[in-house]
Amino acid sequence: MTRALARRGWTVTGAASGAEGIALAGEGGFDLVAVDHYMPGLDGLETLSAINALPAPPPVVYVSGSDEGRIAVAALKAGAADYVVKAVGEDFFDLLAASFEQVLDRTRLERAKAEAEAELRASNARLEAMLSEVNHRVANSLQLVSAMIGLQKGVMTDAHAREALEDTQRRIRAIAQVHRRLYTANDVEQVDLRDYLGALVEELGESWSSDALPRTLTLTAEPIRVKTDRAVSIGVIVTELVTNACKYAYPGAAGEVRISVAQGDGHCLLAVEDDGCGMAADQKPQGTGLGAKLIRAMAQSLQTVVEYDPAHTGVRAVMRVPV
């Protein structure tokens, strides 16, 4: 066999037994190993198992004089790369050499694929680390902008101007909240809507509630993951709707604003409601109109619209967001 394979361009090292073959394979330097089923001492399957247990084992072509299917199945299940039935004549060596070529080609492809996948994973890890750092810096920058607006608000004497700056701060915080979650999360492409809105609603509650005019904001939400850009749009809409409710639903009195998010069939149902004075059917939302424009723009980016429930006592805004 050694001479026949040498004539076909192969350099062969022979082993008289399975144990000797295992020892040689353990020394390394072989592109592949051919294992006979019938050998003195360890049989082929035992030898195959021992070779595959080596660190970085070479591929194994299993050779047997038996054409029994059970042996072939057992060898392939044990990790053989190919199976060749031994025969008399040069055709067998041609078949064996062809098997060697196929196994080596397949092994090279598998190694190249594994290396490419490893490089891709490393590249993704680097990109995710960079994106996390970007989100960290964006969140810090937005926090700085919000603080600067707060300083500007502190020196403003016009009540309407102060109110406009406060609304701007809330919008900035809604966006910054997404970026804060992204740089502390493993997934930089999606946000858990329940966690995000929970933190956002808590901030809005602290912003709007006071001893003189307490506002109770409650969130009921299912765990739903959405892409980052969609989370930003949802956050801005929730901020505007909650702001409207806190401003106008309970004039001079305490009140509750409820936010809910439920999973539907291919969408999530978002609702913001209060039990306040409500709006007439033909009444436009109060304020400068900027909030309404933002709600429409953000809803359009989500391929949806915000609808108002005319049967609800107070105001109930509902939006179905495709997910």
pLDDT-based confidence at residue 185 (cuts at 50, 70, 90): low
Reported residue count of the chain is: 323
Q: What is the DSSP letter of 80?
A: -
Query: What is the tens place of the pLDDT at every residue in 28-44?
Result: 889 999 999 888 889 99
pLDDT of 288 higher than 60: no
Fold exhibited by the domain 190-323: Heat Shock Protein 90 (3.30.565)
Kindly give, in sequence order, each residue whose CB lies less than 8 Å from that of residue 180, ignoring residues fewer than 6 positions away.
135, 139
Q: Identify residue 161 by its one-letter amino acid code.
A: A
* Residues 6 or more apart in contact with residue 211 via CB below 8 angstroms: none
**CATH number for the domain running over 2-86:** 3.40.50.2300
- Reading across the β-sheet that carries 316-322, which strands appear in turn? 215-221, 255-263, 267-274, 316-322, 306-308
Residue 11: pLDDT over 90? no
Q: Rounded distance, CA 318 to CA 260, Å? A: 10
Query: What does the block give as tokens for 49?
Result: 């198992």
Are the beta carbons of 245 and 257 closer than 8 angstroms?
yes
Let me know: does 296 contact 308? Beta carbons within 8 Å: no
The two three-digit tokens of residue 149, written as one number: 């607006």
Q: What tens digit of pLDDT does each residue of 304-322 get?
A: 999 999 889 899 999 999 9
The predicted-structure confidence for 54-108, as pLDDT tens digits, reads as follows 998 999 999 988 777 888 889 999 999 999 988 888 888 888 889 999 999 999 9
Q: What are phi and psi of 221, to 5 degrees?
A: -145, 145
Average pLDDT, the chain: 88
Residue range 295-301: mean pLDDT, rounded: 93
- Phi, psi (5° rounding) for residue 244? -60, -45
| Alpha-carbon span 110 to 108, nearest angstrom | 5
Residue 157 has pLDDT above 70, yes or no: yes
CA pair distance 222, 200, nearest whole angstrom: 15
pTM of the model: 0.59
Question: Is 251 in a helix, a strand, or coil?
Answer: coil
* CATH 3.40.50.2300 domain extents, the chain: 2-86
d(CA 135, CA 148): 20
- In this structure, what token pair is assigned to residue 52? 């595959």
The radius of gyration of the chain from alpha carbons, rounded to an integer in Å, stands at: 35
